[in-house]
C-alpha cells in the first residue's frame, strides 16, 4: 500500500505519518504542494492520497481536480482547516472520497483512513 | 470590532490546543492593542480575504513557543531549525481556519502562514482598524492572539 501525503507543513506530514505507521503503513511518500504532487504521482502510483487544501504554488483543490482528469479511482482524503460545509461540498464534488478537518485526533484520522480504504475496496 | 469576530478565535484556539497538544488554554480579558509592536517575540501570521479582511497574529514569548512546538512535534526543536517556524505556522493556520468557520454566512479565505522571530519585531497592519488582543494562559506559558479584521464592505468604504 503506497500512500502519498501532500501538505506544505512538514510538522503535519510527520503527524500523519505517525498515524499511518500505527496502522501498519510504511511506504509513505511526501509532497509539499499540489504542483510537487502532480510531478510525483506518475512515478509513485499511490493507493491512497491525503491532501491539504491551503498550500503555495498549487492548492489541494486544484490538485484534486487535475488528478481526477486522469485518475478516477485512487481514493483521496482532504485533510484541512477548511471546515465550512460549502468547502466540504466543493471538495467532494471535485473528487475527494473523505474529509478530515484540522485539528484532528489520531483516532479520527485513523478512522477516516480505514473508512475510505474499506469503502473503495468494497466498491472495486 | 464586532465580538462575533472575536469569539470564534477563542473557541478555535482552545479546540486546536486541546486536540493537537492536549493543552488547556485559559482566556483572559480581550483588550485593544496600543503601539505597533507584537505582544511577544515569535509571531505566526495569517492574512484573511473575502467578506472579512485583515490579519491574525499568534504571538508567543520564545520560551512558550519552544514548549508548545515541542508538544506539537513530539520533540524539542530549536528556534533556528525550519521545523520550528513550520510548527508555529501550522498552529496559526489551524486557529485561523477554525475561527473563520465561525463567521456565519461570510465567505473568507486564509493565506499561507508566515512566521517572524525576534525581540520587539513589528507586524505592519491596517492603521485604521483596531487590533484586539486576546491574552491566553497555558501550562507552557502566556501567549496572545492579535486580531485585526473588518468586513470587506467597511474596508472598501474607508
Query: CB-based contacts of B13: which residues, under 8 Å, 6+ apart?
Result: B25, B58, B95, B134, B136, B145
Nearest Cβ partner for A83 among B83, B89, B98: B98
Domains assigned to chain B: 3-157 (3.40.1550.10)
The answer to whether the beta carbons of residues B115 and B44 sit under 8 Å apart is yes
Mean pLDDT, range B29-52, rounded to an integer: 90
Q: Report CB contact under 8 Å: A8, B83.
A: no
The CATH number linked to A94 is 3.40.50.2300
Count of A–B CB contacts within 8 Å? 54
pLDDT digits (tens, 9 = 90+) for B1-27: 677 889 999 999 999 999 999 999 999
Q: Which domain holds residue A86?
A: 2-123
**To the nearest whole angstrom, how far is the Cα of B129 from the nearest Cα of chain A?**
26
Q: Which of A92-96, B128-132, B154-158 has the lowest mean pLDDT?
A: B154-158
Closest CA to B1 of B143, B151, B134, B103: B151
**To the nearest whole angstrom, how far is the Cα of B136 from the nearest Cα of chain A?**
19
For B29, counting Cβ atoms within 10 Å of its Cβ (0-12 exposed, 13-18 middle, 19+ buried), the class is: exposed
Q: How many domains does chain A have?
A: 1
Mean pLDDT, range B114-135, rounded to an integer: 87
Report the C-alpha dihedral over residues A48, B15, B120, B110, rounded to 10 degrees.
50
Q: What is the pLDDT at residue A120?
A: 65
User: Chain B: residue nearest A83 by CA?
Assistant: B101
Mean pLDDT, range A53-66, rounded to an integer: 97
Q: What is the DSSP string of B67-94?
A: HHHHHHHTS---TTSHHHHHHHHHHHHH
User: Chain A: residue nearest B97 by CA?
Assistant: A81
- The answer on pLDDT for A2 being more than 60 is yes
Res. A122 pLDDT band, cuts 50 70 90: low
How far separated are the first and last CA of chain B, in Å rounded? 15
Amino acid at each position: 500500500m503506497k500512500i502519498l501525503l501532500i501538505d506544505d507543513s512538514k510538522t503535519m506530514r510527520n503527524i500523519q505519518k505517525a498515524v499511518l505507521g500505527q496502522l501498519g503503513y510504511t511506504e509513505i511518500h511526501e509532497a509539499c504542494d499540489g504542483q510537487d504532487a502532480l510531478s510525483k504521482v506518475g512515478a509513485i502510483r499511490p493507493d491512497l492520497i491525503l491532501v491539504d487544501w491551503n498550500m503555495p504554488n498549487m492548492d489541494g483543490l486544484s490538485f484534486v481536480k487535475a488528478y481526477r482528469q486522469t485518475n478516477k479511482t485512487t481514493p483521496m482524503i482532504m485533510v484541512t482547516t477548511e471546515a465550512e460545509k460549502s468547502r466540504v461540498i466543493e471538495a467532494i464534488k471535485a473528487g475527494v472520497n473523505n474529509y478530515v478537518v484540522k485539528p484532528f485526533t489520531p483516532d479520527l484520522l485513523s478512522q477516516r483512513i480505514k473508512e475510505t480504504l474499506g469503502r473503495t475496496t468494497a466498491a472495486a | 470590532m464586532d465580538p462575533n469576530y472575536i469569539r470564534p478565535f477563542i473557541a478555535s484556539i482552545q479546540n486546536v490546543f486541546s486536540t493537537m497538544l492536549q493543552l488547556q488554554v485559559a482566556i483572559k480579558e480581550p483588550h485593544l492593542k496600543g503601539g505597533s509592536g507584537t505582544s511577544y517575540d515569535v509571531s505566526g501570521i495569517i492574512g484573511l480575504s473575502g467578506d472579512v479582511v485583515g490579519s491574525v497574529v499568534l504571538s508567543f514569548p520564545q520560551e512558550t513557543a519552544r514548549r508548545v512546538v515541542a508538544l506539537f512535534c513530539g520533540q524539542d526543536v530549536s528556534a533556528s531549525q525550519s521545523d520550528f517556524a513550520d510548527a508555529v505556522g501550522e498552529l496559526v493556520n489551524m486557529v485561523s481556519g477554525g475561527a473563520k468557520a465561525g463567521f456565519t454566512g461570510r465567505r473568507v479565505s486564509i493565506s499561507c502562514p508566515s512566521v517572524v522571530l525576534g525581540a520587539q519585531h513589528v507586524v505592519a497592519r491596517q492603521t485604521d482598524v483596531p487590533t484586539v488582543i486576546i491574552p491566553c494562559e497555558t501550562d507552557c506559558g502566556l501567549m496572545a492572539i492579535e486580531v485585526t479584521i473588518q468586513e470587506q464592505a467597511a474596508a472598501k468604504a474607508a
